[in-house]
């Protein structure tokens, strides 16, 4: 996709070069092709702001700015394609992609948050677990359904409120209003039903009203202390344990981790798999190891075990519990929920070593490290993983990891045995 234009490059307020040329747009970059100078490749992620006004495109880079003008009647085509390609790239680098349900719904967006506010035209996308807006002149926005605190619709507009203070006001949907509103409600309902079914399977005999109350707390992708579930429905924790332990291998793993953990510091959640039936949906547990090992252990179990003797996971993941706060366990759980939402529950960008992260084939994950602040902290807290094999071998790996964490409390120190072959698990 190529556009003839005039361009001007500046360093701060100092002009560097200008003149006629053209720009080519691709999935990875905008390429400037000056008529009398060398070409310049600008990866989309290098563009910090992208604004359109007076038939000019102003692109701010980290140390340079680029103005593109004289696009003539192709200005709107350039603006639309450039904005979309940049946001598509940022979606990948921010690990925000997941199964897409509805797309190409245009709307006017007025966005407000504690950090910023703006208004522009955007494209709306409904993914399996989140709503995404691709503005024409700003970075994409993502609002996971689990983070929506209120939804209002009427007068051909939709308002969404997020738990971090976000406010989306969507209008200008035209004849797509009913389609978008109904699709959004349907997808949010699907996730609510998923959480209810997952909890209902673990709580046979519990009234539908109690299951609904529990699922409102344990929404898809949100981990909560099991003690909170017990407050709503006494015996819920024991029933969930019984469901997990219906599989021989799952029972061995669950009971082993439970026995080395603090009883009152266990969190639980349900999660849709990122690859649908290929990865499966699962229950997640966070176990806090006893005081001798300031470590949190993350374990998952498929909602539908394959058979009595089969195992459904590849590893147990270990993170250091940050010290210094008044409530380290509670603080970690809150952070973990935010961080896993930010990385969309992907494991690869966390467990890859620095050397493997530098491999060109892992460029997306390296890009995510630069764009997702929570990922850097997750990587510092990550200790390693115990890969599921024979029970005794796995238990020995768990014990070795805990001992390693005690002897190596510094952030970033990793258990070397966890650097075995890394496979895509998403």
Nearest to 286 by CA among 322, 325, 336, 241: 336
Q: According to the model, what pLDDT value does residue 249 have?
A: 87
Q: According to the model, what pLDDT value does residue 62 have?
A: 79
Residue 324 has pLDDT above 80, yes or no: no
Summarize the confidence of residues 379-408 as an average pLDDT: 91
Which of 102-111, 299-308, 328-337, 413-422 is least confident?
A: 413-422
Contact between 163 and 151 under an 8 Å Cβ cutoff? The reply is: no
End-to-end CA distance of the chain: 32
Q: According to the model, what pLDDT value does residue 88 have?
A: 93
Residue 374 has pLDDT above 50, yes or no: yes
Q: According to the model, what pLDDT value does residue 418 have?
A: 52
Which of 11-15, 125-129, 188-192 is least confident?
A: 11-15
Q: According to the model, what pLDDT value does residue 409 have?
A: 87
Q: According to the model, what pLDDT value does residue 426 have?
A: 42
SS3 call for 42: strand
Q: What does the block give as tokens for 84? A: 């979309």
The Cβ of residue 29 has, within 10 Å, a number of other Cβ atoms equal to: 19
SS3 call for 330: helix
Domains in the chain: ranges and CATH: 2-88 (2.30.29.30), 98-189 (2.30.29.30), 208-418 (no CATH)
Residue 149 has pLDDT above 90, yes or no: yes
Residue 233 has pLDDT above 90, yes or no: yes
Q: According to the model, what pLDDT value does residue 420 have?
A: 47
CA distances from 296 to 125, 258, 332, 424 (A): 35, 12, 9, 23
Average pLDDT, the chain: 90
Interval 179-218: pLDDT, tens: 999 999 999 999 999 999 999 999 998 999 999 999 999 9
359-387 as b/e: b if 16+ CB within 10 A: eeebebbbbbbeebeebebbbebbbbbbb
Q: According to the per-residue pLDDT averaged within each range, which of 177-191, 242-256, 325-339 is highest?
A: 177-191
Which of 212-226, 309-323, 389-403 is least confident?
A: 309-323
Q: According to the model, what pLDDT value does residue 425 have?
A: 45
Residues 6+ apart with CB under 8 A from 391: 249, 252, 253
Q: According to the model, what pLDDT value does residue 326 have?
A: 80
Q: According to the model, what pLDDT value does residue 308 have?
A: 55
Residue 423 has pLDDT above 70, yes or no: no
Residue 424 has pLDDT above 80, yes or no: no
Summarize the confidence of residues 304-313 as an average pLDDT: 58
Residues 6+ apart with CB under 8 A from 292: 406
Using pLDDT thresholds of 50, 70 and 90, give the confidence band for residue 113. Answer: very high
Q: According to the model, what pLDDT value does residue 421 have?
A: 46
Between 323 and 38, whose confidence is greater?
Answer: 38
CA 97 from centre of chain: 8
Summarize the confidence of residues 3-12 as an average pLDDT: 93
Interval 27-73: pLDDT, tens: 999 999 999 899 999 999 989 888 888 899 999 987 899 999 999 99
Q: According to the model, what pLDDT value does residue 134 have?
A: 95
Interval 266-293: pLDDT, tens: 999 999 987 655 567 899 999 999 876 6
Q: Quickly list DSSP for 215-275.
A: HHHS-TT--EEHHHHHHHSTTHHHHHHHHHTTSHHHHHHHHHHHHTEEEEEEEEEEE--TT
Q: Would the CA dihedral through 332, 285, 126, 24 be positive or negative?
A: positive
Summarize the confidence of residues 393-409 as an average pLDDT: 92
Residue 314 has pLDDT above 80, yes or no: no
Q: According to the model, what pLDDT value does residue 170 have?
A: 97
The answer to pTM > 0.85 is: yes
Residues of the chain above pLDDT 70, percent: 94
Interval 74-111: pLDDT, tens: 999 999 899 999 999 999 999 888 889 998 899 999 99
Residue 361 has pLDDT above 90, yes or no: no
Nearest to 377 by CA among 330, 322, 415, 324: 322
């Amino acid at each position: 996709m190529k556009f003839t234009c005039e361009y001007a490059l500046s360093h701060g307020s100092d002009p560097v070069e200008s003149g006629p040329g053209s720009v080519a747009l691709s999935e990875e970059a905008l390429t400037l092709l000056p008529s009398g100078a060398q070409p310049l490749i600008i990866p989309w992620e290098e563009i910090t702001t992208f604004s359109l006004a007076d038939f000019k495109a102003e692109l701010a880079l980290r140390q340079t700015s680029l103005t593109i003008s004289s696009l003539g009647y192709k200005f709107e085509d350039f603006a639309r394609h450039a904005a979309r390609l940049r946001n598509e790239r940022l979606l990948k680098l921010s690990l925000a992609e997941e199964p897409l349900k509805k797309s190409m719904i245009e709307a006017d967006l007025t966005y407000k948050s504690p950090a910023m506010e703006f208004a522009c035209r955007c494209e709306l996308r409904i993914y399996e677990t989140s709503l995404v807006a691709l503005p024409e002149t700003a970075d994409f926005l993502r609002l996971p359904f689990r983070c929506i605190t209120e939804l209002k619709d009427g007068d051909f507009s939709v308002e969404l409120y997020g738990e971090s203070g976000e406010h989306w006001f969507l209008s200008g949907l035209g004849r797509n209003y009913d389609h978008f509103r109904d699709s959004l409600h349907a997808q949010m309902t699907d996730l609510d039903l998923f959480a209810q079914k997952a909890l209902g399977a673990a709580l046979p005999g519990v009234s539908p009203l109690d299951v609904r109350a529990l699922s409102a707390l344990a929404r898809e992708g949100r981990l909560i202390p099991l003690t909170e579930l017990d407050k709503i429905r006494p015996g819920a924790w024991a029933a969930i344990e019984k469901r997990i332990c219906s599989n021989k291998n799952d029972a061995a793993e669950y009971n082993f981790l439970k026995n080395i953990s603090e009883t009152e510091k266990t969190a639980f959640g349900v999660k849709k798999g990122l690859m649908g039936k290929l990865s499966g949906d699962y229950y997640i547990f966070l176990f806090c190891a006893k005081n001798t090992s300031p470590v949190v252990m993350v374990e998952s179990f498929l909602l539908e075990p394959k058979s009595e003797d089969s195992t459904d996971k590849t590893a147990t993941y270990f993170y250091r519990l940050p010290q210094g706060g008044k409530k380290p366990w509670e603080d970690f759980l809150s952070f973990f929920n935010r961080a896993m939402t930010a990385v969309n529950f992907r494991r690869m960008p966390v467990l890859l070593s620095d050397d493997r992260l530098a491999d060109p084939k892992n460029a997306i994950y390296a890009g995510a490290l630069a764009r997702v602040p929570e990922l850097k902290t997750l990587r510092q807290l990550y200790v390693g993983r115990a890969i599921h094999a024979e029970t005794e071998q796995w238990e020995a790996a768990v014990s070795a990891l805990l001992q390693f964490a005690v002897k190596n409390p510094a952030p970033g120190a990793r258990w070397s045995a966890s650097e075995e072959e890394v496979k895509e698990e998403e």
